Amino acid sequence: MANTEPLPEPLPRHIAIIMDGNGRWAQRRGLPRIEGHRRGVRSVREIVEATADIGIEQLTLYCLSSENWKRPESELSRLMSLLEQFLIEERSMIMREGLRFAMIGRREGLTDGVLRELDRTTDLSQKNSGMRLCLALNYGARSEIADAVTRIAERVAKGELSPADISESLISDHLYTAGMPDPDLLIRTAGEFRLSNYLLWQSSYAELWVTEKCWPEFRRPDLLDALRAFAGRDRRYGGLRS
């Protein structure tokens, strides 16, 4: 879809979204929680296409946290099936839009079907040159940092690094997001004001924008509201206004 509305400047390079409120949206309407996740897929589709159209460099969506395994097994099973279906059905859109697909998080626990479709979409899209679409699956920021520290410690033990070599940039290079820009704008739906273990290291200077709308209600006009708010922020990174 061609962009026709004026866009605020500056635009963020990288938008990260906590897609919250699927279950609450469904329960308020007397629907099963899984129906909220199904309706949420519509929002994913629209926001992916909108961000690609606008010219955002990367969009990262928090799809499944490492804490979500505490949910009932029946809901998790349906979520896995829905995720596998999404990866199959949206592959044509990913290729049509020229998106580069990626996943961050631990692979352990994800079903064989989900892993197969993740790998297939990643491989097919690796030569694309458009927006990077990154799904955070079985993701937890504390686990990510712990995994990075473990890999660095292993390199120190092998003599490849000394403790004096450890820096912020080295840690960043060992995170799941190595090579990706940090998010400039972090959006959370459903009115919650917390990061929920999402991109804690990377979001140190991200602008936060929260809406009361649940994720199944989030659409392109809401995204534009977030972009306008971002454009109006004074980003000094700890310095003084010039």
Cα separation, 213 vs 3, in Å, equals: 24
Cα separation, 59 vs 132, in Å, equals: 6
> With 0-12 CB in 10 A as exposed, 13-18 as middle and 19+ as buried, what is 137?
buried
Tokens of 45: 């589709």
Between the alpha carbon of residue 128 and those of residues 122, 131, 132, 235, the distances in Å are 10, 9, 9, 32
User: What residues contact residue 96 under an 8 Å CB cut-off, 6+ apart?
Assistant: none
Cα separation, 28 vs 47, in Å, equals: 23
Q: Which of 3, 22, 53, 68 is catalytic?
A: 68
Cα separation, 37 vs 215, in Å, equals: 9
DSSP state of 176: T
User: What residues contact residue 44 under an 8 Å CB cut-off, 6+ apart?
Assistant: 19, 61, 86
Residue 123 annotated in active site: no
Q: What is the DSSP string of 21-85?
A: -HHHHHHHTT--HHHHHHHHHHHHHHHHHHHHHHT-SEEEEEEEEGGGGGS-HHHHHHHHHHHHH
Angle at 33 between CA 16 and CA 88, to 5 degrees: 60
Residue 20 annotated in active site: yes
The residues that are catalytic are 20, 68
